[in-house]
Amino acid sequence: MTETTTTVGRPVAPPAPPAPPRPRTRRTSTRTRLELVLLLGPALVLFALFVLAPIGIAAFYSLYRWNGFGPLQDFVGLTNYTDALSGPVFQSAFWHNVIIVVLSLVVQLPLSIGLALLLNQRLRGRAVLRAVVFAPYVLSEAVTAVIWLLMLQPGGFVDRVLVAAGLGDLVQQWLADPDVVLYTLFAVITWKYIGFGVVLLLAGLQAVPVEVREAAALDGASPWQTTRLVVLPLLGPTIRIWIFLSVIGSLQLFDLVWIMTLGGPANASTTMATYLVDHGFKRYEFGYGSAVAVVVFVVCFLFALLYQRYVLRRDTEGAVTRMVG
């Protein structure tokens, strides 16, 4: 061991090496577990009571033919499921949901992106325009349905506007024509929920660095090229989240359809949720309705699982990587 000397020549011992880190004590581990139990316990209990338990009860009821009164005695196994999946009305209801999903992706997504890009510009009255676009989303589904139900009546506000604009030939039986009613409902759905997509995409646009756009402009990119090649790719995670929420909402669509059409005319606007309520509550077929509820849950759960696995996984992994780094 070498020795060091001070300015007066006296030997001084070298500094002691740093002490090794203390091993994690049992008290620290117990404290961490206690914190996890206290923080996660109430949420897990509520999740089990209000999510897992109803799903299990619905799956149990679905194995019986039961009208909601008396004990469960008529065990039918999977008959309710086979009847629902093979029934033409439920199959048409499923395809109605699929049509709304496709229309949402084809119509609502480009419209939301375009409005978000427009409202992200420096415009006079931009705050007012944003409020106007978002205002329908604040209204409840019941209020929205009643307003549009009155406006779409024969000779109502929509028909009068078309006639006044010289487009009287476009007047239809908006809610009574089986060939038109589903697309009429989609127009109302778009009016109701477009504001949410615009606000979500505006938040994503705020996260796009201004320096990136300026660099693209210095490299000679036109505004359209900057938007298509720079802004939209950076907006990808927000768009994917919007698609997920839009698809799940379209698969669970109920309020607007039930109030405006009750699934009619002739089941032309029936969705899986309205079919469930019609059979489960109006016709007192609670066992059959529970089977339909389980089918709807499985469809939504499978989509969410696959979408998370193959689409959202890279976004969540990137977020975790950035947090760790």
pLDDT of the residue at 5: 47
Compute the distance between CA of residue 186 and CA of residue 72 in angstroms, rounded to an integer: 40
Q: Assess whether pLDDT exceeds 60 at residue 201.
A: yes
In the predicted model, what is the mean pLDDT of residues 265-289?
A: 91
**Domain ranges across the chain:** 57-86+285-325, 95-269
In the predicted model, what is the mean pLDDT of residues 264-282?
A: 92
Residues 85-139 have pLDDT tens digits of 999 999 999 999 999 999 999 999 999 999 998 888 888 888 888 889 999 999 9
Class of domain 95-269: mainly alpha
Considering Cα of 187, then 190, then 191, then 192, what sign does the dihedral take? positive
